[in-house]
Structure 1
Amino acid sequence: MSTSYSPFRDGPWRHLGDRDVWHSLTVSALAVALTGGLLWVWFVLRTLVLAQRAPLAPATAQTLLLFGKRLAGEAIDADYAARIERVRSLLAGRPYALLLLGGRTGAGLSEAAAALARLREQGLPADANVRCEDASTDTLENLRNARDLLGGAAATPVALVSNRYHLPRCLLLARSLGFDAQIVAAEPRLRWTPALLARIALEASYCLWFDIGRRWARLIGHRRMVDRVT
């Protein structure tokens, strides 16, 4: 059995055989076409605004959810390092509960375990309230598993910590799953680069697909599709 990462087994392409995915993609594409692309433009602008305005600390949340990011071997890239550093700085100010999210996409460490190792290198207190969720491979699974682990605490405010471009999707999914969620940005500010704009466009497309697919499923009473996103 191969233990290396495969996009067809571990990544988003693994859903291509799922009829509900094709159903929601088709409806979303039709919605974009019928609005002459304006619906997609609105989602891009909304994603940009949320990404730019994301605060650097939670308003009321006592629990931090740190989203993992795919490792290069067992190495943490710059985006993931920024997420971990934001959590470290928050924990230095007050004793938040921390849930590290992210499973394995290969044979090495899970994303959650890699973040925990980095935090310990940076002086994480031995008595810190930290748990790991390392059974997930995407953002929706991150949040579903987090909801299970938190139990009743999932109904209290939680702070979603990630890169600015990723936060709009995190917030949309978290609220769909019933979280009282706030967002916290890893980076001090949004850096306007071609790569960032490409990420914003991709994230806006994810958000459009999820939101329109969910609304359509509710409209037609498709219970299975609704259950998968709530």
Structure 2
Amino acid sequence: MIRRIIGLGSTTALAVTAPLLLTGAAPATAATTSCSQLASAKSISAVSYADRLVRAWGRGDTAATNCYTSTAAARTLYAQTTRGGIHWRRVSTEGAAGTIYVTYHDDARGGNLTIGVQNVGLRAADGWHAAYTAKFAGEPKAWNAVQWSDNLVRAWGRGDAKWTAYYATPKVVRQLHSISATGGSHWRRISAEGAAGTTYTTYRNDVTGRMLRIGISHVALSDGDAHAAYTVTYW
């Protein structure tokens, strides 16, 4: 079954000279799990606490994420994405004034995330919401499938090899560059359809009349992978 994605106007033009807009993910859904149903967090180390949080956020478990974080820290994480992905690796730990700062590196997309967790003696009696600060450094925003495809077409259009290679698999990069090293500024998105775990977004070149269809993997986006554009058709 093919599902057409609502809200994509046929006049959506892609101006490749415009800045790359990094839009946030949708707000987190309401928690449906009580914190008391989770393993106790009263006396675990700050590093283990941060690890639990990053795993919960990574798999899109907003209920557990909300238990570990303060409102401000949750807002920072969800502004990035509600599902952080599976590629976060702890790289450093530092302590200062009752807080342990634990830093993780995103091995897929290249940025860092630092979580600040209160030491055991400074936490609330139940142990929850002790991760009170979160800060990203150099981490590209998470986009939905259509936004990801748009950004790929913009990058290719302006001849930006670095970002083209970030958004697409090596095979797709080769296919795009076989069309042209610089795709140009006249591609206009005309439709997007979802089918079997992929969103296919179609563009028309208003100068040449040629068509381009990009396929984005939903699994890759959910896991936090780069190179989520895995198929391209040009005619």
Report the TM range for the smaller structure's normalisation.
Answer: under 0.3
Superposition TM-score, scaled by structure 1 size: 0.23
Pick the structure with more strand per residue.
Answer: 2
Pick the structure with more helix per residue.
Answer: 1
Higher relative contact order (CA 8 A, sep 6+): 1
**Structure ID, larger Rg:** 2
Superposition TM-score, scaled by structure 2 size: 0.23
